[in-house]
């Protein structure tokens, strides 16, 4: 398992397991299977409603806490009280601290994300989270945040897949040492990414699946990625991406699938409040 160094001196496993839209009733089983497969980085959020299931799976796993990397997120309507929100998440997870706490969306119409960021800085200082970051922040949101604080987010988790690569956001993040996490890394099956001839050709060349090729593209691009699946066999497949490498030409061909802003499959950050 490869790791990425963050700007606060910590490291994060580059491949993780996401539980977005995982049924709360199935979360403990699914996360337990992911941990059995070998995943050690779990990404959840308060709004997912499944932190308790994640916590039960962690508790039952017997895996030392120091070997796990757990992320959760602050929902929009709690940006005015991040300390209470994180403590509630910790109670549900059964943890004393998380490894990474993110502002889930900028929710710019509420104009509270700078206030929320100041609270996250305090939560890190108080030892309730090791690292802090943001999610779904575009260039204007990052610029406003960076202008208001001396603390630079460790990560920005954004929608990122071959048709929607957000180059302006990535450029600013890299300039400021902010690591990029990809959500929806396979396009959430909302367009035929895995049938694209470029992807299929690379998969054939390496004896891998199309999904493995796309995950490998994320890894070689330097992104942190956590594909989501409910099926153990797919968990295994998504995990077996460290025994091959895409060529420079293959990487360039996949990067060229960028749709210049037309490839977004999720909500625009300016519309989520």
- The catalytic residue positions are 48
Torsion angle of C-alpha atoms 33, 34, 37, 41, degrees rounded to 10: -150
**What radius of gyration do the chain's Cα atoms show?**
18
Which letter does DSSP use for residue 149 in this model?
-
| Separation in Å, CA 186 to CA 129, 211, 224, 228, 236 | 29, 7, 13, 9, 16
Tokens of 93: 């997870």
Which letter does DSSP use for residue 15 in this model?
B
The neighbouring-strand residues paired with 157 are 135, 181
The neighbouring-strand residues paired with 209 are none
| Distance in angstroms (rounded) separating the CA atoms of residues 92 and 70 | 13
The neighbouring-strand residues paired with 12 are 4
């Amino acid at each position: 398992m490869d790791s990425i160094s963050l700007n606060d001196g910590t490291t994060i496993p580059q491949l993780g397991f996401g539980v977005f839209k995982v049924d709360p009733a199935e979360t403990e089983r699914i996360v337990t299977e992911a941990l059995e497969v070998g995943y050690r980085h779990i990404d959840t959020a308060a709004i997912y409603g499944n932190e308790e299931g994640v916590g039960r799976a962690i508790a039952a796993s017997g895996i030392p806490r120091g070997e796990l990397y757990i992320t959760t997120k602050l929902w929009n309507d709690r940006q005015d009280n991040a300390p209470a929100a994180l403590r509630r998440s910790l109670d549900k997870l059964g943890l004393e601290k998380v490894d990474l706490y993110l502002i889930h969306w900028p929710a710019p119409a509420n104009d509270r994300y700078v206030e929320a960021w100041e609270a996250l800085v305090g939560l890190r200082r108080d030892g309730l989270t090791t690292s802090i970051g943001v999610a779904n922040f575009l260039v204007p949101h990052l610029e406003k945040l960076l202008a208001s604080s001396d603390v630079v987010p460790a990560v920005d988790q954004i929608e990122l897949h071959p048709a929607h690569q957000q180059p302006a956001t990535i450029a600013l993040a890299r300039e400021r040492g902010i690591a990029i996490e990809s959500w929806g890394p396979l396009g959430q099956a909302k367009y035929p990414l895995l049938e694209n001839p470029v992807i299929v050709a690379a998969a054939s060349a390496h004896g891998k699946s199309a999904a493995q090729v796309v995950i490998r593209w994320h890894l070689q691009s330097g992104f942190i990625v956590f594909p989501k699946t409910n099926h153990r066999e797919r968990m295994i497949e998504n995990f077996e991406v460290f025994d091959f490498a895409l060529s420079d030409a293959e990487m360039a061909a996949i990067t060229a699938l960028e749709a210049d802003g037309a490839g977004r499959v999720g909500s625009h950050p300016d519309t989520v409040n």
